[in-house]
Structure 1
Amino acid sequence: MKKVLIYDADCPLCRAYTKGLVVAGALPAEDRIASHAITDPALVNRLDPVRQRHEIPFVNLETGEAQYGVEAILTVTQRRWPRFTRFIRDTLLFELGRRFYAFVSYNRRLLFPAPPERPHLMDLTPDFNLGYRIVFLVLLFGTLLTGHLAAVGSVTPLAAGMLATHLLVTGSYILRHSSTTRLANILDYLGHLGMSILVGGLVKSIGFAFDWPILLLAGNAIILWQHLVRLRVMQLPDRLNVPFALFVLLNG
């Protein structure tokens, strides 16, 4: 009875943990398939069109029966760690795992941006979920503010004003060019903005800790590069990187 685990090839985290299952001996390598490699429309049609975008499917190729998300992962781990798997299923950890899995899944295109409009038979782009997106943004910007205050001690009024100007310009552009998805697009952009700062900020934090100015410059370059990449993912014009670059330079 042939079963396969189909992972989102655009998600580095998905690639990593499914590869980990293979390395650990819980899943045969040939039973791990990237979503890009799926070429059989009949297989895709057997899957739940909504759940497949949010929860990794473990599919029986003979019957078409599928398990999704945490349940799919536990079915795989049952082969290698039966006691551990039973423990997870029988405790609160199962529900907590489902919640955390959903939180990451609905926000994974912000964590790991993927180029838009690529023709693949299996579309795994997650839907927009307002609750999970707001929680993500609160955690993200709370972390950024706490880290900045710990490293620098304050936010300069000039940098704050430049950031506000940038948000006004970018927000206005998004509102003008969006129709029914304005709120989703605005919150998506805020997520991409925050992730750009976080990725480069991690490099800058090492520079602050060890007094290595070269890492401060590298961190700023990474922030601007990440922001440009994410503008293109959202199909926003490159020129919106200019006011953001001024904010980054003023912010140190």
Structure 2
Amino acid sequence: MKTLNQHTLLYDTDCPLCNLYTRAFIKAKMLDTEGRKSFEKITSKEKSFVDIKRAVNEIALIDRENKQVTYGIDSLLKVIGNSFPIVEKIGNFKPIKYGLSKLYSLISYNRKVIIPSDKKESEELECIPSFNVKYRLLFIVLGTLITSITLFQFSHIIQALPKASFIREIWLALGLIISQVVFVINKDSKTILNYVGNIITVSLMGCIGLFQLMLLNSMISFPQWLILFAFSGVVGFMFFEHKRRIKLLELPSYLSWTWIGYRVIILFFILNV
């Protein structure tokens, strides 16, 4: 790999994905040994030329020699493009760069609902993305669609369930969100959307488990009892993950019980209609 010397990425230490790819750049020698630095450790000198408000949303790449900074997808393309010029060339093609920029923003603005972290009591500078309603709603819509598609496909391998429809799964997914929002309706809109974002993330985590189960079942036909047992395991994991996130968000613990209660009620309704 060709090393991009004298450049440092300011990454969010609470973001596992940021940790992973910045460490990978160092390990692959795409950046030198000083090629990554925790955002919280930014110096006063660096603050004079780094746009802090922008850097919390778009990872900043500092040129230590010329004191110049690039942000977001441009930073990643510059690092990767130094070793693979063709990648940078393709990535900078306008339609592709537009799509990459939107995808990057979707992940970056929602990274704290994708992977929440404990609130810090110290006065250190924190890399917390701005609250962006547009990208939060987009994350919720896309997550709801993915969840509905996954549940629709998974319903085909459970013989005890009546024939499902995609529209029904959409309404069930929306029903979960609405039923949970009812219990936090007295909160401000930011808190509500943060909570809904976490609900969607838990659902997507469940989708990963169900997708793996469907993939295995397509290769090895499992008995119904094993599929139901594995499904129960996925739901159990989701319940405890939801409970963990509720604690981090400092919301009432009963929300986890209303979350599972909705599913039980809907299952009873589906089986008895």
TM-score by length of 1: 0.81
1:1-252 equivalent positions in 2, closer than 5 A: 2-36=6-40, 38=41, 40-61=43-64, 64-119=67-122, 121-152=124-155, 153-154=163-164, 164=175, 167-168=178-179, 170-178=180-188, 182=189, 184-207=190-213, 209=217, 210-211=222-223, 212=226, 213-250=228-265
Looking at structure 1, the residues matched to 182 and 265 of structure 2 have their Cα atoms a distance apart, in angstroms, of 23
Q: How far did 1:166 drift?
A: 8.0
User: How many pairs align?
Assistant: 243
Distance 1:246 1:221, change over 3 A: same
| RMSD across aligned positions (CA) | 3.0
Structure 2 alignment gaps of length 5 or more: 156-162, 268-273
Distance 1:123 1:45, change over 3 A: farther
Structure 1 alignment gaps of length 5 or more: none
Looking at structure 1, the residues matched to 126 and 229 of structure 2 have their Cα atoms a distance apart, in angstroms, of 41
Looking at structure 1, the residues matched to 198 and 26 of structure 2 have their Cα atoms a distance apart, in angstroms, of 31
Residue 80 of structure 2 aligns with an amino acid whose one-letter code is T
Q: How far did 1:142 drift?
A: 0.9
Distance 1:166 1:2, change over 3 A: closer
Distance 1:207 1:122, change over 3 A: same
- Equivalent pair of 2:183/2:255 in contact (CA under 8 Å): no
- Equivalent pair of 1:148/1:154 in contact (CA under 8 Å): no
- Equivalent pair of 2:13/2:38 in contact (CA under 8 Å): yes
Q: How far did 1:167 drift?
A: 4.2
Looking at structure 2, the residues matched to 103 and 238 of structure 1 have their Cα atoms a distance apart, in angstroms, of 29
Moved more, 24-33 or 98-107: 24-33
Q: What SS does structure 2 have at the residue aligned with 1:174?
A: coil
TM-score by length of 2: 0.76
Q: How far did 1:144 drift?
A: 0.9
Residue 195 of structure 1 aligns with an amino acid whose one-letter code is T
Q: How far did 1:250 drift?
A: 4.9
